[in-house]
Chains A and B, each alone.
Chain A
């Protein structure tokens, strides 16, 4: 085993880092393609309920988001711990949904307006009262396509 006894005789050449940028760029492009820009700062904590029969939203760009949940701890002094509605970057009430939907519609192109989906991201602990109010307001503004946001549950009961 003389082969292994020649310790330190030969200098190992320095590892070439020339391909490092390529690798990092590859990761960069992966993230650029697979992620989307964060639109709003979340002011409410939302843990969406679990469901198994979920469908993916086809056109993410045609979605309007309504967040419902308890305000984040740093805002609780001002807004309390009761469930609140967040539209864009501010706390709003049910009455503001009408204007919000109208503004969202304006941002979509004419042909796509009918496909606009309102995605309701509500915390699993909110009461249905506030969700019902939102639903009624959406019906009034005839934004009828909605989605209850849910995350994929582990299917532990078969199928």
Chain B
């Protein structure tokens, strides 16, 4: 099964020795969905990595050394986690890792009727026919869960912990979330490295693969608050695909922080089909060293009077690259749309690179707002000066300014403890990048 890695590879190649028809059919034997897997397998091999012609110049998967990884097929049964694993203040905890899926539902979650079940093999994954990474997940997923809240409200967050596999392994997972009419819930997702495995340090290539879908379906008037903090070790290739479909007046507040991983190629789709549906998205990207974050958000305002309010803020240090892209589409049916897309970047080093491509595609003149804005700027020296006159050192001043720049995103996280933890993670990463920068400066 391990053919040699191709000697030459294009920037958009993603060599995977296990992406074969027989592997898709083997997985269908274990988890079901034979036809869909076969179609997705064909699509994965037929589609270009980037099918959107606007973005083809901005693909680079060369740091992914995933050809010889072993594709994991954890047990499909969901085992019970001990109650001690339930974080304080959480309604439920679900763990997805190389070991399989385990969960523990607290009293509130059980009383509200929350269910966590293995995902049916027949569940279609929309977008697999047109997006290559979605096709990858649809063809080769080895682990899937379905979280359902048919009605009612769960105030406390449902915590989902997703662990990347170890070096040399690949984990492909699907997470379905369905909220019925009027249901309301909060999900807090933590994407982290494998438990008990020390980070092997940063190599030239990333040798672990985590590809995961998050398929959210919101019924009429359903409300979901969703936060995801990604802190993967820097030997991981992370391919998240998020697809959100909205019923009438459904509402999603989503906050995503991308901190770790060597290479992230992520796609978010908001299908605002229900009239009056609404999405508010905040995204923070902090990349240093030789990390590459390639993130695209597609918003389709198909329903009437839908609202999209999307804000991305990126910090790029070291030799990091950030490709932050967005497409807002307002078809003829999307009367009264209110849509804003903001992409803002800050470069902390001369070798970092920030690319922003916020696109609009508008067919309906009757829109309340259809706008985007983006900016890239350095840390304002006047602000540093001001803070220094207030007694801060230059390093403290820089840190304060960057943290202030990211704070609107951090503050959007549903759990205060999470926000606090994210602040700590960001501050630590910031200090490390300042230290690396001054070391580089003194070496020069």
Is B a genuine binding partner of A? Answer: no
Q: Chain A residues in contact with chain B, CB under 8 A?
A: none
Q: Which residues of B contact A (CB under 8 A)?
A: none
